[in-house]
Amino acid sequence: MERRSTTRFSPSEIARMEKLVSSDRKEQVLVDSFCQKLVEEFNRSPARVGSRALQATQVRGWFLDKLPASTPKPASLPTTSEEKPLASEPDALISEIKTSASDEEKVLALDTSISNNEDALSADLPKDKVPEFEDLQFEAKSSKDSAWYDVALFLAHRKTSLGEVEVRVRFIGYGAEEDEWVNVRKAVRQQSIPLESSECRSIVKGDLVLCFKESNDEALHFDAHVVDVQRKQHDIRGCRCLFHVEYDHDQSQEMVNLKRISRRPRYL
């Protein structure tokens, strides 16, 4: 299956778009010319230096996902005793997933793991406030390419013959033909967080990160572990540090900059 890469907006870009959605200008945000003007503003930002330029369609897609009236409704799916549509309210949604899960799955259904060594966390790591469920955003791992994609909708859930709970997800930016059944415990977790230049020291050797991998054929986000970090002096362009990572899915290694890394949420 051919897919384009998941769009990763910076915290400042997300804050800007959320402000527009909640303002009296929200009727304008889906207009092509408005999205084009906004994406040009983002691409001029120093934080975007060295990164692939955003496209207006990516910004418009973000707004479509955030505006209730514009959010696509889940396709009608056949249901059986083992396959049920998820409730529309977030609290009811997570309750249904937990009801169907085993005791172990109840604990692991929402993955907040961050590292292969939680006892060795740096003292200056960001302390994320635990969000309400309504504020959570999720990512899911595709079985087709082992890459992680942001989740637009949870459509249904079922229990397999082995007792595992699966949910049918729709990925942001993709249609119903790309929907997948994924394992709740192994392939669904809270969305990874892009980093600002000032947060580079929160990434240390051994950390699990989500890393943007580019090649001639694809540009996707994969799990990787940090093998080593080369700390460098920051300049006007921001963080110049280099991170030696090893991708979990194929054990390949490369040096990447901070812009290509998103960290796992940390609740301390």
Surface-to-core class of residue 242, CB atoms within 10 Å of its CB (0-12 exposed, 13-18 middle, 19+ buried) = middle
Tell whether the model's pLDDT for residue 122 goes beyond 70.
Answer: no
Q: Which pLDDT score is estimated for 9?
A: 73
The Cα 169–Cα 150 span in angstroms is: 10
Is-contact 148 223, C-beta < 8 A? yes
3-state secondary structure (DSSP) of residue 114:
coil
Spatial CA neighbour of 6 closest among 206, 104, 148, 129? 148
User: Can you tell me the mean pLDDT for 107-117?
Assistant: 36
Residue spans of alpha helices (H) in the chain: 11-21, 32-44, 56-66, 90-100, 103-108, 184-187
Q: Which pLDDT score is estimated for 123?
A: 39
Q: pLDDT-derived band of residue 152, with 50, 70 and 90 as boundaries?
A: confident
Q: How many CB atoms lie within 10 A of CB 166?
A: 22
Topology of domain 138-190 in CATH is OB fold (Dihydrolipoamide Acetyltransferase, E2P) (2.40.50)
For the chain, strand residue ranges (E) read 83-85, 138-141, 148-159, 165-171, 180-183, 188-190, 193-194, 208-214, 219-230, 242-247, 253-256, 261-263
The model's pLDDT over 223-244, given as tens digits with 9 standing for 90+, comes to 999 999 999 999 888 899 999 9
Q: Which residue has the tokens 């990434």?
A: 203
Indicate the domain borders of the chain: 11-66, 138-190, 193-263
Taking CA atoms, 81 is separated from 12, 75, 77, 226, in Å, by 44, 19, 13, 43
Tell whether the model's pLDDT for residue 216 goes beyond 90.
Answer: no
Considering the four listed CATH numbers 3.90.1150.10, 2.30.30.140, 3.30.465.10, 3.40.50.300, the one that applies to the domain covering 193-263 is: 2.30.30.140
Q: Which pLDDT score is estimated for 113?
A: 36
**Which pTM was predicted?**
0.58
Spatial CA neighbour of 190 closest among 155, 144, 147, 141? 141
Taking CA atoms, 105 is separated from 100, 140, 159, 188, 210, in Å, by 9, 16, 12, 12, 23
Q: Which residues share a beta bridge with 156? A: 85, 168
The Cα 209–Cα 184 span in angstroms is: 19
Is-contact 219 149, C-beta < 8 A? no
The Cα 182–Cα 65 span in angstroms is: 21
Q: Which residues share a beta bridge with 224? A: 209, 247
